Amino acid sequence: MNETLNVSAPGRVNLIGDHTDYIGGLVMPMTLNAFTTVVGQKNINRTWNLVSHHEAEPVSIALPVIDPRSITPQWGRYVAGVLNEFNKLGYEIPGFTGVIDTTIPIGSGLSSSAALEIAIARIVILITEIAMSETDLALLCQRAEHIASGVPCGIMDQLCIAVGRPNTATLIDCHTYDIQHIAMPEEIEVVTRFISHRTLVGSEYGDRVNDCQAIEAIVGPLRLATMNDLSHLNDDRLVRRARHVISENQRVRNFAHALTNKDFVEAGRLMTESHASLANDYETSNSTMDQAVNSMLHESGFLGARITGGGFGGCIVGLRHRD
């Protein structure tokens, strides 16, 4: 009998540490209670036929994939990107017929695309019985995302989704891929609020990655840089970009420490400081997002708030005391 397979992968929200992952810095996201599920069966055609409850058109992808970017409709490129990466590693993948559903809002900066990639990769692993570590699975999905979307994203989303645990923050060193799970204390809750739709495709995300590479060509690895290194940069924009990354890495360390010590006031303060750094130095916020953060900070019980993820819209995240 052809067994029915059912996998799911959660969305993620980043508590602190944005625009640090693609240069090997520190991040601290957590998975959401919202999931993408893929249910279906292996087929004998070497074709992936998928319908999604949230997309108008189904996709049909013949294996091996020649070019994931040529797949239409566009959402199929994330699937094709993942299948293509397995092909590149030399794996023969059977066909699959399935249905996709999701409770992750699409296009709101909560990593719906990374969740789809991880879910598809998990289906591939189930039907082929390939042995692969969670880190390698996340790296494979990151490469798929680069090709499918053209956005040179870091590893945060895919790795958090692959290894994250419910109600637990995931502290990730994006240079070593070391992971520390930090349970969220009961006294506080994380509030994620959707503000505006956005896509990183065609955004200034790639420009920020380029800025970081330009900085590293002068001062060496940004993850090791200190504020003293800023004096070697004689371009004001690069000084501000570097200042964000250096200070944000330190904020992630301090935030992890504050959470562990139940210093929630300090944890909230660091989140709000992170927002200011992203808005002023990294310029990945906008007035709508700034206002949303500001009004959240005025609501009762909030200790801190910030824009979360790639920016230019999307969601904000806040830390609230349950009392």
Contact string (CB under 6 A) for ligand GLA, positions 116-155, x = contact: -------------------------------------xx-
Q: Is 21 a catalytic residue?
A: no
Selected catalytic residue, list 18, 21, 157, 281:
157
Residues 148-207 that bind ligand GLA (CB under 6 A): 153-154, 156-157
Q: Rule CB under 6 A: say whether 16 interacts with ligand GLA.
A: no
Q: Decide: 154 and 174 in contact? Cβ < 8 Å.
A: yes
**Smaller CB distance to ligand GLA: residue 117 or 259?**
117
* 3-class DSSP assignment, residue 290: helix
Q: How far is CA 86 from CA 96, 231, 277, in A?
A: 14, 45, 38
Report the DSSP pairing between strands 314-321 and 95-102.
Answer: unpaired
- Nearer to ligand GLA (CB atom), residue 18 or residue 211: 18
Exposed e or buried b for every residue in 250-272, given b needs 16+ CB within 10 A?
Answer: ebbebbbebbeeeebebbbbbbb
In the block, residue with structure tokens 């249910």 = 39
Among 7, 19, 277, 304, binds ligand GLA (CB under 6 A): 19
Contact assessment for residue 279 and residue 306, using Cβ atoms and an 8 Å cutoff: no
Nearer to ligand GLA, 304 or 309 (CB): 309
Indicate the residue type of 20.
T
Q: Which residue matches tokens 């199929």?
A: 76
Binding to ligand GLA by CB under 6 A, coded x per residue (else -) over 83-122, reads ----------------------------------------
**Number of residues in the chain:** 323
- Tell me which stretch binds ligand GLA (CB under 6 A): 16-24, 73-81, 88-96, 190-198: 16-24
Instruction: Give the integer Cα–Cα distance in Å for 54 and 46.
Output: 24
Binding site for ligand GLA (CB under 6 A): 14, 18-19, 21-22, 153-154, 156-157, 309-310
Active-site residues, by number, are: 157
